[in-house]
A and B are shown apart, each in its own frame.
Chain A
Amino acid sequence: MEEVIKKVIALAKLKFDKEGLENFVKECEKIVEYFQKIKALKANERKEALYFLYQFKCPLREDKVEIFKNDFLRNSPRYKEGYFRIKKML
């Protein structure tokens, strides 16, 4: 379980220190077991997954240009002279 949780934490781009990781794994184990209670549902009661309640058709937008007029990029810390800038990637 710990290995799985470690991988998942990396996938989510998060990091924990050793103590934090141990606590976290404990809590996750409890919660995951707790959620397994759902397996108690009898097999013949199982239904198909419900994704959309009543939104049956995706609305479509006209292909017309609209310029977003707020000069908002100046509030972005990493934006400078036209580009978003980060340290050189290898």
Chain B
Amino acid sequence: MEPLKLKISEIQEKIRKGELTYSDLIETFLKRIEENKDLNCFISVFKEKARKKASLCDKEFKEKKEIKSLLFGIPIAVKDNIAYENERLTCASKILENFISPYSATAVKRLEEKGAIIIGKTNLDEFAMGSSNEFSYFGPVLNPINKEYVPGGSSGGSAAAVGGNLVPVALGSDTGGSVRQPAAFCGVCGLKPTYGRVSRFGLVAFASSLDVIGVIASYVEDCALVLQAISGYDENDATSVNYPVPDYLPLKNNLKAVRVGISKDFFLKEMDERLIKIYEDFFKELSKIGVKLYEISLPTIKYGIYAYHLIATCEASSNLARYDGLRYGLNLDAKDIDEIYLKTRSEGFGKEVKRRIVLGTYGLSKGYYEEYYAKGLEVKRMLFEDFQKAFEEVDIILAPVSPTLPFKLGERLTDPIMMYLSDIFTVPASLVGLPALTLPLKEKIDNFPISIQIIGRHFCEKEILDFAYGIEEL
């Protein structure tokens, strides 16, 4: 099988056997990236750097005859809102178009320590704000399954790159579904870890209390592999949690060992009927093979999307206050300092980002704070308690990923409300900090695989990875 479709462990097998070199591997993927430029997945590609590193990997393997880590020599794409030292960090925004980051994110450093090769930075919705990757200063990303459709967002570039086999794995970021939804739209695995499991240091902040770095891969095992490398306490991130990281590998099918919860609250009447049918069939299949299914109640789910937007826009407006062009970024001339602020921010930010900044500023202002931000946090607590109660009865919760199928480019642009609603099933796990993985099922509609969302308890990534692995094997 050509290296483009192999699991990482299979790639390393070929290397060990001498059937493949790391330089071959990099060339294969670089060629694939070049041939699929029209997908617009990448903002930066590090051709020379990657080639040099690959040849060093080959040299080391020749000398030492052993592969120090499964990630050694493996190309990884990183979403362009995650810092990589001395390379551009654009966040798909004009305001950071030529900004070069002076340091690397902790997650990226940890991958490099394992020998992984950062092959490029992927396209995204500007500052991770969006669900379709149509809000990028560098143009939209196309869905590799059907180029007239969106790949989802905001990690559209990373998801399309993995979906189109331009890279085996990619890092994304998930604030309200930005790893899970595009992974689903592109037919690949998307993992959002527990909040605090992976360091946020080097992830450009959107909503600080919700942001996490996530993993997108073609195989569950590869997701687990990358998660293992990047997880763990980081003293540079005061919100990263000092719990020990378990061994995520080897994966073990736990379908029959766990109690699975399904909630009616996760299914809206507005959903595409075909989707509902596919999920119902899937649950029947699980039941048939002996998986224990229970019905649970999560009454606050329907308020989740409102709470999410209240919280996220307020925190975003604050996190984006630092972009003024004075210390770095877009440099515009104006008659006085006030004009510099206005001009830089008005010209540097796209429409969607500006909309959210204004809503967030409104939400935090005097007189509105209690109604807006604080209220969002009350719903967060209610949702937290809902899930706590549910997890007393079950170990895993299954849910859909998106209420609709992937939509065509330009279809949702004129209706921001519809765009917001597309996150309705992914935001609950974000608000409560739970780990969640989306996995494509065998069923397809219009060629798009339909994905299931697997939600677990805090810091129980192993459980959901094992469960996903079980489904993958079906």
Contacts and interface: CB of A to CB of B under 8 A. Distances in A.
Given A14-B345, A24-B355, A89-B337, A76 B362 contact: no
Interface residues on A, range: 35 or more
Contacts of B324: 13
Interface residues on B, range: 35 or more
B interface majority secondary structure: helix
Given A38-B375, A41-B379, A84-B327, A15 B346 contact: yes
A13 B339 CA distance: 9
B285 interface: no
A67 interface: no
A30 B355 CA distance: 12
Among A5, A13, A87, chain B packs the most CB atoms within 10 A around the CB of A13
B2 to A, nearest CB: 40
Interface in B416-446: 416-417, 420, 432-433
B404 to A, nearest CB: 18
Given A5-B358, A12-B361, A59-B238, A49 B377 contact: yes
Nearest to A12: B361
A26 B85 CA distance: 42
Interface in B342-399: 342-343, 345-346, 349, 354-355, 357-359, 361-362, 365, 372, 374-382, 384-385
A55 B235 contact: no
B309 to A, nearest CB: 7
Nearest to B374: A49
Contacts of A41: 303, 378-379, 382
B335 A87 contact: yes
A5 B361 CA distance: 10
B327 A49 contact: no
A72 B102 contact: yes
A48 B326 contact: no
Contact of B357 (A14, A47, A52, A90): A14
A35 B102 contact: no
A12 B381 contact: no
Interface in B54-87: 85-86
Nearest to B361: A12
Contact of A87 (B195, B336, B432): B336
B196 interface: yes
Contacts of B235: 59, 61
Given A9-B358, A12-B358, A78-B331, A58 B326 contact: no
Interface string B25-61: 0000000000000000000000000000000000000
Contacts of B15: none
Contacts of B325: 77-78
Contacts of A4: 362
A65 interface: no
Contacts of B307: 38
Nearest to A46: B378
A18 interface: no
B241 interface: yes
B307 to A, nearest CB: 7
A12 B340 CA distance: 13
A34 B331 contact: no
B416 A14 contact: no
Given A49-B374, A87-B336, A89-B336, A78 B327 contact: yes
Nearest to A16: B346
Contact of A12 (B357, B374, B384): B357
A31 B359 contact: yes
A71 to B, nearest CB: 9
Interface string B95-138: 00001101100000000000000000000000000000000000
Contact of B342 (A14, A54, A77, A86): A14
Contacts of B306: 34-35, 37-38
Nearest to A75: B100
B337 A87 contact: yes
A58 B242 CA distance: 12
Contacts of A53: 195-196, 384, 432-433, 458
Contact of A47 (B336, B361, B381): B381
Contact of B346 (A14, A58, A59): A14
B358 A51 contact: no
A90 B336 CA distance: 9
A24 B354 CA distance: 10
A52 to B, nearest CB: 8
A15 B342 CA distance: 6
Contacts of A38: 303, 306-307, 310, 375-376, 379
B328 interface: yes
Interface of A: 4-5, 8-9, 11-16, 24, 27-28, 30-32, 34-35, 37-38, 41, 45-55, 58-59, 61, 68, 70, 72, 75-79, 84, 86-87, 89-90
17 contacts: A5-B362, A8-B361, A12-B345, A13-B342, A13-B345, A28-B359, A34-B417, A38-B306, A47-B385, A52-B239, A54-B433, A55-B241, A59-B238, A59-B242, A70-B85, A72-B102, A77-B328
Q: Which 5 A-B pairs have the closest CB atoms?
A: A72-B102, A49-B377, A77-B331, A50-B381, A13-B341
Given A35-B310, A49-B381, 13 more contacts: A12-B361, A14-B357, A31-B420, A38-B376, A49-B377, A50-B378, A53-B195, A54-B433, A70-B86, A77-B328, A78-B325, A86-B326, A89-B337
